[in-house]
Amino acid sequence: MTAAGLIRAAPLAGPQRHQLDPADWATLAEALRHDHALDFLGLWGSPGAVHAAFREGAALLLTSVPAPDGHYAALSPARPAASWHERAVADLFGLLAEGGTDHRPWLDHGRWLLATPMDERPRRAGGEPPQPEWRPPPGEDLHQYPLGPVLPGFGPAHLRLHLRGERVQTLEALLGYGHVGLLGAMLGRSPRAAARLVGRISADAAVAHGWAFARAAEAATGAEPPPRAVLLRAVMAELERLACHLSDWGHTVGMAGLAVARSRCVILREGLLRAQEVAFGSRLLLDAVVPGGVATDLSPDGEAALAHAMAAVEQALPMLQSLQDRHVGLQDRLAGAAPLAGARAMALATGGIAGRAAGRDVDLRRDMPYGPYPRFAFAMPTATIGDAEARLRLRLREMPESLGLIRAALARLEPGALLAPLPVGAGEGAAMVEGPRGDVLHWLALDDQGLIGAAFPRDAAWGHLPVLESVMAGRPFGEWPVALASLNPCLEGADL
């Protein structure tokens, strides 16, 4: 039986979630070694249980397994990206992945007051905090190059590189330095109260997280957002995508030495942010998308402000494209830099620009359609080379599509309500949204009072961290700034 078949054959524990017993979970872990049809999305814990999410085409598959003795069969031997999730589950809940590829701490560096703080019986931590554990060096005659835990512009993380001469042999990332206890803070709150926390997981993906969380809450409660709110969500999401692409494109070419192009992108992005403040009252659209709809309407002057900012971006795109095509120095720095192989992208289920630049043709707006996107026509460019140059080229090619989607959504706006009521009661829901950097997943379970009893937010950073480690293996150290900028994994998104 296929891995998907094993999951679907198990009884339902929720509207979308199948409950496996430990023996069937172990069978699933083995089946995943041979079945590559399922994309691994995430793995998370709750007291005494572990949950996982997979994608099969347009279907989201959720499954759980009880772990009353604190152990469960690891998925990381079959899905490498699961290793980071298994380490987080061990740190937060004390649940250990038997047969896992890595058992070192990920978030807990021995400085928390409580060990396994989200377990039903957390224990008080004590003793001297240990030094971080790193993988053994892959050979002799290597030297270590530490980066962080403060990485200006990218967030808190400790990165350790092993080099032979100027060539990187391995790169390893360690998080936990920006851990804020988000999962614990969400518990016991209503979905609308928790939405403020969700919107701050990643500032430049606030709409994507807000939309995915709102859709999950609406699935759990049976609420239906008004048509005007759905269109406004799409407008905000595509504006966010534009701003993120401009920022990442400009930052990367700046790292490659073209400061004038970076400055131009900063100006264009600032114009978008100012237009968003006029249109919706927030530069970064924080708290704009809430369960049941949106919290703010388009202002009377908003459409004109957005049109002006978008026109400036549209006029600048040919110049930015010409720079990337014709600037010899930029080509020398970007072409072939930090390549992601297509097979590796498939194995890691890499989403967003990074995955599409490596030939993985996945975009949730088309493949798992939601909101108004099924009514709109738009292209999804891809490439196969997978290097920094391809990632930047796709960002430029995606921006006109976002401009067209914004205009199409604005043209269809009609007067109407912005917010639907959320029924109070028990329920469970999950949803995915295509964020600026890749797929965003939210799952939550509500108790009888309609308060969050369990939740899991999955940022695209969970998929990009293993990519960041992969693209630098065997590459010159000089490619490191371009690799980090072109992927821009937003480290805070995985440091929950």
Write b or e for each residue in 196-225: b if 16 or more Cβ atoms lie within 10 A of its Cβ, otherwise e.
ebbbbbbebbbbbbbbbbbbbbbbbbebeb
DSSP letter at 298 equals: P
Specify whether domain 3-122 bears CATH 3.30.460.80.
yes
Q: Which amino acid is at 338?
A: A
| Domain ranges, ordered by start, for the chain | 3-122, 182-494
E strand spans, 258-370: 289-290, 293-294
Q: Are 75 and 29 in contact (CB under 8 A)?
A: yes
Q: Which residues contact 302 (CB under 8 A, 6 or more apart)?
A: 275, 278, 279, 280
**pLDDT for the residue numbered 496:** 78
Whole-number Å distance between alpha carbons of 118 and 47: 7
**pLDDT for the residue numbered 414:** 94
In terms of residues, how long is the chain? 496
In three-state secondary structure terms, 149 is coil
**pLDDT for the residue numbered 269:** 97
Hunting for tokens 């939550």 — which residue is that? 444
**Bridge partners (DSSP) listed for residue 290:** 293
Q: Which amino acid is at 164?
A: R
**pLDDT for the residue numbered 139:** 80
User: What are the structure tokens assigned to 448, written together?
Assistant: 């009888």
> SS3 string of 154-193?
CEECEEEEEEECCEEEEEEEECCCCCCCHHHHHCCCCHHH
**pLDDT for the residue numbered 132:** 86
pTM of the model: 0.95
* Rounded mean pLDDT for each run of 10 residues along the chain, 496 residues in total: 92 92 95 91 94 94 94 95 94 95 91 89 83 84 87 82 92 88 93 94 93 98 97 98 96 90 95 97 95 97 97 96 89 92 91 94 95 94 94 96 97 96 96 95 96 94 88 91 88 80
Topology given in CATH for the domain delimited by 182-494: Cytochrome-c3 Hydrogenase; chain B (1.10.645)
**pLDDT for the residue numbered 391:** 96
**pLDDT for the residue numbered 493:** 81
**pLDDT for the residue numbered 138:** 82
Whole-number Å distance between alpha carbons of 280 and 82: 38
